[in-house]
């Protein structure tokens, strides 16, 4: 019987996508963007976090593109900006050193103050609650994938049939596999290696044919699976993102 924590993994492996773990990441990202624009934004514990950290550039962009709750986004930004001002304005006003003059020598203490404040700013903008929640969700999802591979025969067949993973998530699977027993690792890695070693040459062949199609002698020959091979290669090499979507000529 399917359990609630296995549903997202099954859905990702059922989806038409190049990498099911990218699909899990995308689903988690949408979920947490909606979370921070939903009722949670009025909860004191949530606002303490968003006031302090804000969001990373990428997730600020997603929040901006969402039409879910423009007022809520404004409230989040207002109190976050107030927190920033309260944290930095006084120190910023005291940073400038006195000018050296005839009766006042040079003093390099201001350089340490500059570095210290810059470090504080960097630490604040390095945090993003959406990123942190996604990281936690992905850790859980990877655990579920390995558990289902061992205990759920239907899912194991889905895993066997899923031929491709992007390199970042292939690395994630390999690192997790170090926690397996030798026998479990042998079973899991034999499937994973077989799939990657089958799909990668096919992708290389498609990209090569894409380039050969620019030769006038091949212009009338069919594209086969090569037409979107550039985008598929990008997704394989670095993970899925909207900039890698297939686009037609305008």
Interval 7-21: pLDDT, tens: 999 999 999 889 999
**pLDDT in the model for residue 132:** 96
As a whole number, mean pLDDT of residues 79-84 equals 96
As a whole number, mean pLDDT of residues 187-200 equals 95
Q: How far apart are CA 173 and CA 144, in angstroms?
A: 12
* Residue 104 clears pLDDT 70, i.e. is over it: no
Q: Which two tokens stand for residue 226?
A: 């090569």
As a whole number, mean pLDDT of residues 192-200 equals 95
Domain positions in the chain are 4-130, 163-241
| Averaged confidence pLDDT in the chain | 91
pLDDT higher for 216 or 99? 216
Q: How far apart are CA 38 and CA 50, in angstroms?
A: 13
* Residue 249 clears pLDDT 60, i.e. is over it: no
Q: How far apart are CA 123 and CA 178, in angstroms?
A: 32
**pLDDT in the model for residue 52:** 93
**pLDDT in the model for residue 103:** 56
As a whole number, mean pLDDT of residues 175-188 equals 96
**pLDDT in the model for residue 137:** 95
* Residue 73 clears pLDDT 90, i.e. is over it: yes
Helices 153-161 and 129-151, axial angle in degrees (round to 10):
110
* Residue 250 clears pLDDT 50, i.e. is over it: no
The least confident of 9-13, 44-48, 108-112, 209-213 is: 108-112
**pLDDT in the model for residue 230:** 94
Helices 70-93 and 109-125, axial angle in degrees (round to 10):
170
Please write down the HEC assignment for all residues of the chain. CCCHHHHHHHHHHHCCCCCHHHHHHHHHHHHHHHHHCCHHHHCHHHHHHHHHHCCCHHHHHHHHHCCCCHHHHHHHHHHHHHHHHHHHHHHHHCCCCCCCCCCCCCCCHHHHHHHHHHHHHHHHHCCCHHHHHHHHHHHHHHHHHHHHHHHCHHHHHHHHHCCCCCHHHHHHHHHHHCCCCHHHHHHHHHHHHHHHHHHHHHHHHHHHHHHHCCCHHHCCCCCCCCCCHHHHHHHHHHCCCHHHCCCCCC
Q: What is the DSSP string of 85-107?
A: HHHHHHHHHT-SPPPP-SSS---
> Pick from 141, 137, 142: which is nearest to 179 by CA?
142
pLDDT higher for 103 or 141? 141
Q: Is residue 150 helix, strand or coil?
A: helix
């Amino acid at each position: 019987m399917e359990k609630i924590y296995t549903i997202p993994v099954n859905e990702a492996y059922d989806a038409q996508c190049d990498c099911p773990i990218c699909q899990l990441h995308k689903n988690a990202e949408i979920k947490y963007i909606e979370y921070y624009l939903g009722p949670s934004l009025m909860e004191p514990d949530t606002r303490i976090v968003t006031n302090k950290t804000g969001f990373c550039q990428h997730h600020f962009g997603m929040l901006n593109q969402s039409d879910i709750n423009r007022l809520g986004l404004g409230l989040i930004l207002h109190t976050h900006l107030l927190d920033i001002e309260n944290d930095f304005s006084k120190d910023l006003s005291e940073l400038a050193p006195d000018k050296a003059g005839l009766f006042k020598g040079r003093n390099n203490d201001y350089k340490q103050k500059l570095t210290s404040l810059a470090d504080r700013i960097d630490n604040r903008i390095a945090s993003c609650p959406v990123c942190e929640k996604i990281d936690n969700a992905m850790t859980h999802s990877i655990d579920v994938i390995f558990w289902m591979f061992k205990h759920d025969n239907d899912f194991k067949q889905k895993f066997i049939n899923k031929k491709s993973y992007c390199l970042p998530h292939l690395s994630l699977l390999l690192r997790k596999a170090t926690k397996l027993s030798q026998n479990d690792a042998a079973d899991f890695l034999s499937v994973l290696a077989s799939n990657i070693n089958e799909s990668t040459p096919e992708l290389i062949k498609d990209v090569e044919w894409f380039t050969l199609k620019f030769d006038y002698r091949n212009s009338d020959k069919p594209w086969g699976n090569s037409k979107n091979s550039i985008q598929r290669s990008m997704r394989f090499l670095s993970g899925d993102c909207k900039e890698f979507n297939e686009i037609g000529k305008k």
